[in-house]
Amino acid sequence: MRVFGLLGLVLALVIVGLIAKKQMTTSAAPALPSVPGAAAPAPADARTQAQQVQKQVKDALDAAAQARKLPDDN
């Protein structure tokens, strides 16, 4: 009986791995809609994208910290 349980677990992991791999390859290069006459946006490099994400996270954390501040009870 343990063999069936182990085989089921391995099979489930294989299926999840295949689905995850398919999702990663599908979302890696999203297709941008083309508009006739419009210039394509310049591709951003990884460093610029990483800096933008870091700034967004920092801004979100700062905003959350400001919202959590309590007035002083002096």
- Per DSSP, the residues of 13-68 read HHHHHHHHHHHHHHHHSPPPPP-TTPPPPPPPPHHHHHHHHHHHHHHHHHHHHHHH
- According to the model, what pLDDT value does residue 74 have? 57
- According to the model, what pLDDT value does residue 4 have? 87
The token duo for 56 is 């967004």
Tens-place pLDDT, residues 58-69: 998 888 888 766
- According to the model, what pLDDT value does residue 13 have? 94
- According to the model, what pLDDT value does residue 63 have? 84
Tens-place pLDDT, residues 8-55: 999 999 999 999 888 888 765 555 555 566 555 556 688 888 889 899
pTM above 0.75, yes or no: no
